[in-house]
Structure 1
């Protein structure tokens, strides 16, 4: 049975651990977002409530018409050990819709851009030329992919066709454990804003300074600094 540290190395494919990346709290990024004001949509994932059912993965594929092997979101799963007892780590992964997205900077056509009205990073398939520069620039491996149907880059955009109408993203609506929380973090009365204040969540690879807008409750500092990849074979699969 893998202990937690060995498990992280396996998941990341030998990627960097906590000792080699500086730790940056998500609190600073949240403070910067709130200082700007305006509507700012984000997602919070409570790892304590994720049961690994993958209803989110299925509903995302159905909602957005993606092939079974092309995911806008996935749940990373592995067997690990804590205090001598085995447990399962369920870690939902998706595009982080960063506040400082590296993908936007490298897009030669402006197809990838950050929406001013809500902070979501989107890809305009009518402008995307499939150069894949954004995929190469993104530090979060495999959350972007080339859609086999369109030949253009695809990724999670928080289901803008739903959220623009006041609906929840498909993954949030179908989460059986209620682990995914979505909303405006600048609305202090929203559930996501209240939980962020209460739980002080972390983000993945904060040392990359992209300031992700996907936050995690129950993430350890070591996990936060681990370069997870959806391309790497999972140690355990439901």
Structure 2
């Protein structure tokens, strides 16, 4: 297929070497998407590795991975979860019945039920902003420049260059979901490590 004919495939790269754990991404996401209190579309996990006194702390930003092989798609009994033309996984709130099947199917704990709307909710890569030619809110507010978003099928895009020129990792590769969120600077065992803070949003 000619380069000009390739479909857009949005992806995000998170460079853990640049993440300072400030949670600006979490706050901006909640404001931009009016996420109810106590729920998060994106959050930053703190992970400890080692044994006292030789302990190292790592930060691991989390969000929906917009997988190429997304288990949430097959799990939704009413097809409220669907894939946009650019690969973004979205939810039709008018059709979602809040059954939580998609939540159970997601291996990344990326979904929750909106207590106001009573439907499933998650990161959408700020689809409304991207359609307007803007970047996701979390990307624009990342003070360390750790988050990069763009078209993975555009070889000239920064996100494509980062994936092509760096050793990247994905969460739970053994699940074969083909995530579209890539991490730079993550140790392999950290990607599957138990979290010291088990609840979203706690640091």
Is TM (by shorter chain) over 0.5?
A: yes
Q: Please list, as runs of the form range in 1=range in 2, the aligned pairs for 1:15-164 lying within 5 A after superposition.
A: 37-81=6-50, 86-115=55-84, 117-141=85-109, 143-164=110-131
Q: In the alignment, does 2:139 pair up with 1:172? A: yes
RMSD: 2.3
Match of 1:213 in 2: 180
Deviating runs (4+, > 2 A) in structure 1?
Answer: 78-82, 84-88, 227-231
- For residue 228 of structure 1, report the CA deviation from its aligned partner: 5.8
Show CA shifts across 1:10-63 (max 9, x none): xxxxxxxxxxxxxxxxxxxxxxxx9x9310001000000000000000000000
Q: Distance in 2 between matches of 1:228 and 1:71?
A: 19
Q: Distance in 1 between matches of 2:159 and 2:112?
A: 28
Match of 2:148 in 1: 181
Show CA shifts across 1:212-238 (max 9, x none): 0000001122123x166798248x82x
TM-score of the superposed pair, with normalisation by structure 2: 0.90
SS in 1 for 2:169: coil
Structure 1: unaligned runs, 5 residues or longer: 1-33
SS in 2 for 1:194: helix
CA contact (8 A) 1:106 1:134 kept: yes
CA contact (8 A) 1:72 1:94 kept: yes
State the number of aligned residues. 198
CA contact (8 A) 2:45 2:197 kept: no
Show CA shifts across 1:184-224 (max 9, x none): 01111111111111103110001001100000001122123
Q: Which structure carries more helix by proportion? A: 1
CA contact (8 A) 1:135 1:144 kept: yes
